[in-house]
Amino acid sequence: MTGLLFTEAEWDFATLDRTYKAIEEIALNDLKLDVYPNQVEIISSEQMLDAYSSLGMPLMYHHWSFGKLFAREDTMYRAGYSALAYEIVINSSPCISYLLEENTMTMQALVMAHAAFGHNHFFKNNYLFRQWTNAEGILDYLAFAKHYISACEERYGRDEVELVLDAAHALMDQGVFRYRRPPKPSRERVLEKRRRRAAYEEEAYNDLWRTLPAGIEPPAAPPTLVDEDEFDGEIKLPEENLLYFIEKNSPTLRGWQREILRIVRNMAQYFYPQRQTKVMNEGCATFVHHTIMNILYDRGLISEGSLLEFLHSHTSVVFQPEFDDRRFGGLNPYALGFAMMSDIRRIAEAPTAEDRDWFPDFAGSGDWVGALKDAWANYRDESFIEQFLSPKLIRDFRLFSLYDKADEGAYRVSAIHDEQGYRKVRSLLARQYDPGIADPNIQVVDADLKGDRTLFLEHKMYRGIPLQHATKDQVVAHIERLWGHDVVLEEVAD
C-alpha cells in the first residue's frame, strides 16, 4: 500500500477519521488556523433539505414559511433543477458541519476542509462574529426558542402565534442593530431575567414528570419573560431597530408576544454578520479547502484521481458567468472571494510593480498566511473589497460599473478596468456589499404615546430610491398589527 489516505470513492468512519486528522494537521500547522472544536455529522439528503428549510439550523421553531421553503426546495431537487449543497456548517461551538452521505470520499475530504476548518476559522476569528454572535449559546437559545414558541401555540393558539411571527419575520431586515449594541440592562434586571428564565426551565422540566400517575396537571403556561410593564414612557429616538423598538414600546403587545419578537430579533442579529461577510466567508472556506487539498496531494496523501475530482467540483463552485451569459445571476461570492484570497497570497509571494504600488503593506512580504488571517479577522465584505481588490482582479473579471437613473432610458458605463477606473470600480463594488446601503434605511422617528399612539416611521431614501410599493403596504400592515395603532411611513430624501 501507498501512503494514500483512501483509494475508494466509498467512505467509512475510519477513513473519515484518518482523513480528518491529516486535514487538521495541515490546517493547524501550515495554515495556522484557529478553530472551535469540530463536530461532524453525516446526514441523508432528506435531512439536508430539512436543514435548508430551517435556515440551516439544527433546531428551529415551527413556522409555515419553513414548510414553504421545504416544499419548494424539495420540488426543485426532485425535478433535478438544483443539486443539494455538499455541506452546511453552523456558527456554534462546537462547530457543527453536516456532510451529505452521498458524497464520495474525496468530496467528504473537501467538505471537511471547507466547512470544519475554513468556515470554522472564519466564525471564530472574524470581528463581526466575535462581537455579535455567541457561538457557545446559540444551540441552547434555539432550544429555548423552539420550546417557548410551541408552548405559546399550545396556550394561545397557532393562529395567534402565527400572526406575531409573520409580522416579526416581515421586519427581520429592520430587526438588527447595525451600529450600536442594545442598551445594557441594569444588573438587577439581568438577575431578575435570569431568575425567571430558570423558573421557566424548571417548569418545562417538570413537564417530563407529567407521565407519572400522581399530580397530573394541565400544561404549564409559558411564563412571561418580558415585563408587561416594561414600557416606561421613556423612548430613545430615532431608533433603527424596529423590532427592538416595538418589543420595548408597543402599547398593546402582551408579554409572550414581546418575547417572540425578541426571539426573531435575536435570530436576525445572529445571521446579520453572515449577510455582511458572504464573499469573505465563502472565499476563506474555498481558499482553505483548495490549499489543503493541494497540500494533501503534494504530500502523496490523495491520489491523482481524487485531485482531479476535487478540481472538477472546485472549478464549478468558483465559476463566474459573464453579465450577458444566460446563467448570470450576479457576482458569485465563491468566485470573487476565492479569487481575492488567492490574489492576496500571490501579492505576498510574487508581487508585480503594480501590486507594490497598491499594497505596500504586505506585497512581497512572503507572509501570506499572516496577511490572510489579518484580513479574515478584521474586515467585512465591504471594507475587504475596498481594501484588497487589486487592479489585476478587476482586469481578470473585466469588471465595469454602470450608472442607472430611473427616468433615463439607458445605463451609462461609468468606469471600466483601466487606470482611471480601478478605484471607482472598486469603491462601487464595495458599496454594493454594504447592507447599510442595500437595505432600506428605516427608522422610528416618533411615537405619539400620550395622544393617539400613532407610530411615525421614516425611510431615508439613499440617492432617491423609494420603497417598492406593494410590499411597503403589506409590511406596514404587519407593523400596525404589532403596534396596535396607526403607523405612518414617510419617505424622505436623504
Partner 1 sequence: MTYFIDRRLNPKGKSLANRQRFLRRARQQIRDAVQKSLKDSAVADIGKERKIKVSTQGTREPRFRLDPKAAGERDFVLPGNKEFLPGDEIKKPQGGSGGSGKQASDTGEGEDDFEFVMNEDEVLDIFFEDLELPNLVRTTLKETQNKQWKRAGITTSGSPSQINLVRTMRNAQGRRLALRRPSLREVEAMEADLAALEREPQTEEMRAKISALKEKLAYAIARRKWVGFIDPVDVRFNSYTEQPVPTSQAVMFCLMDVSGSMGEREKDLAKRFYMLLHLFLRRRYKKVDIVFIRHTHDAQEVDEQEFFYSRQSGGTIVSTALDKMLEIQRERYTTSDWNIYAAQASDGYTQSGDARRCVEMLNEDVMPLCQYYAYIEILDEREMEVFASEDSGAELWRAYRTVAAEWSNFATKRISKPADIFPVFRELFKKAEA
According to CB under 8 A, which residues from 317 to 356 bind partner 1?
320-325, 328, 331
C-alpha cell at 47: 435531512
Closest separation between CB of residue 257 and partner 1, Å?
A: 18
Phi, psi for 459 (deg, rounded to 5): -100, 110
Report the residue number, 365 or 441, with the smaller CB distance to partner 1: 441
For residue 177, count other CB atoms closer than 10 A to its CB: 17
Closest separation between CB of residue 204 and partner 1, Å?
A: 18
Closest separation between CB of residue 398 and partner 1, Å?
A: 4
Burial class, 130, CB count within 10 angstroms (exposed 0-12 / middle 13-18 / buried 19+): middle
**Contact between 240 and partner 1 (CB under 8 A)?**
no
C-alpha cell at 7: 483509494
C-alpha cell at 157: 393558539
Spell out the long-range contacts of 357-361 with Cβ–Cβ below 8 A and sequence spacing 24 or more. 358/390, 358/391, 359/388, 359/390
Out of 9, 17, 83, 300, name the contact with partner 1 by CB under 8 A: 17
**Contact between 465 and partner 1 (CB under 8 A)?**
yes
Residues 375-414 that bind partner 1 (CB under 8 A): 397-407, 409-414
Pick the stretch among 37-45, 187-195, 245-253, 254-262 that binds partner 1 (CB under 8 A). Answer: 37-45
> How many residues bind partner 1, per CB under 8 A?
99
Query: Measuring CA to CA, which residue among 175, 174, 247, 252 is closest to residue 453?
Result: 252
Out of 7, 18, 25, 66, name the contact with partner 1 by CB under 8 A: 66
Distance between CA atoms of 129 and 135, rounded to whole angstroms?
Answer: 8
**Contact between 82 and partner 1 (CB under 8 A)?**
no
Residues 94-153 that bind partner 1 (CB under 8 A): 94, 98, 101
Residue type, 416: I
Report the residue number, 101 or 140, with the smaller CB distance to partner 1: 101
Pick the stretch among 250-258, 304-312, 421-429, 447-455 that binds partner 1 (CB under 8 A). Answer: 421-429
Phi, psi for 219 (deg, rounded to 5): -55, 140
**Contact between 235 and partner 1 (CB under 8 A)?**
no
**Contact between 464 and partner 1 (CB under 8 A)?**
yes
Closest separation between CB of residue 363 and partner 1, Å?
A: 24
Distance between CA atoms of 466 and 491, rounded to whole angstroms?
Answer: 7
Distance between CA atoms of 17 and 110, rounded to whole angstroms?
Answer: 14
Report the residue number, 44 or 316, with the smaller CB distance to partner 1: 44
Residues 301-320 that bind partner 1 (CB under 8 A): 320
Out of 163, 235, 449, 467, name the contact with partner 1 by CB under 8 A: 467
Report the residue number, 204 or 268, with the smaller CB distance to partner 1: 268
**Contact between 420 and partner 1 (CB under 8 A)?**
yes
Closest separation between CB of residue 112 and partner 1, Å?
A: 10
Distance between CA atoms of 25 and 32, rounded to whole angstroms?
Answer: 10
Residues 169-208 that bind partner 1 (CB under 8 A): 169-170, 172-174
Query: Measuring CA to CA, which residue among 130, 233, 230 is closest to residue 450?
Result: 233
**Contact between 16 and partner 1 (CB under 8 A)?**
yes
Distance between CA atoms of 296 and 413, rounded to whole angstroms?
Answer: 45
Contact 13, 102 (CB under 8 A): no
Closest separation between CB of residue 435 and partner 1, Å?
A: 12
Report the residue number, 341 or 425, with the smaller CB distance to partner 1: 425
Phi, psi for 253 (deg, rounded to 5): -65, 145
Report the residue number, 88 or 371, with the smaller CB distance to partner 1: 88
Closest separation between CB of residue 120 and partner 1, Å?
A: 11
H-type alpha helices, 80-186: 105-111, 120-125, 127-132, 138-156, 158-170
**C-alpha 215 chain-centroid distance:** 45
Out of 13, 184, 315, 450, name the contact with partner 1 by CB under 8 A: 13
